[in-house]
């Protein structure tokens, strides 16, 4: 994101004010494979009695872009940074994907009017309800 878009637009997520706040109050603790950066409050505590934790998204400010391991750290479920532990995923675990709803890659079940597949023909066993 360019400096000009940070100064003149708030809808991109990261603004000039965010940059100043991070410089004054935050300490970078790591980043994920999507390029999101994670911060911890330098000194003091937040309203919950613990230092604040937050994320600055690389592109779109979409919460489903946070991978599970960082989500746990952000919400104080775990205190160990994901960069500090050596976790190997199970063979059945898939890589993290953001929520694709509303995009062209969204899941479309068979029979959906938006799917590319043909809907099956009616079998004749359907009887519509008619008020009496």
Which of the four pLDDT bands, split at 50, 70 and 90, describes residue 75? very high
Indicate yes or no: pTM above 0.85. Answer: no
Per-domain boundaries in the chain: 3-74
Q: Is the dihedral of CA 55, 60, 62, 65 positive or negative?
A: negative
Confidence label for 38 from pLDDT (cuts 50, 70 and 90):
very high
**Do 46 and 26 contact (CB within 8 A), yes or no?**
no
Residue pair 57/13 in contact (Cβ under 8 Å)? The answer is yes
């Amino acid at each position: 994101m360019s400096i000009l878009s940070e100064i003149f637009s708030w809808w991109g997520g990261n603004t000039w004010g965010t940059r100043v706040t991070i410089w004054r109050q935050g300490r970078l603790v790591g980043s994920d494979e999507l390029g999101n950066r994670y911060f911890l409050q330098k000194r003091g505590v937040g309203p919950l009695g613990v230092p604040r934790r937050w994320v600055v998204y690389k592109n779109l400010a979409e919460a489903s872009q946070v991978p599970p391991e960082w989500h746990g750290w952000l919400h104080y479920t775990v205190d160990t940074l994901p960069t500090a532990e050596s976790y190997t995923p199970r063979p059945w675990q898939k890589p993290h994907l953001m929520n694709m709803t509303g995009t062209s890659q969204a899941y479309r079940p068979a029979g959906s009017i938006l799917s590319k597949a043909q809907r099956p023909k009616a079998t004749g066993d359907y009887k519509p309800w008619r008020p009496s």
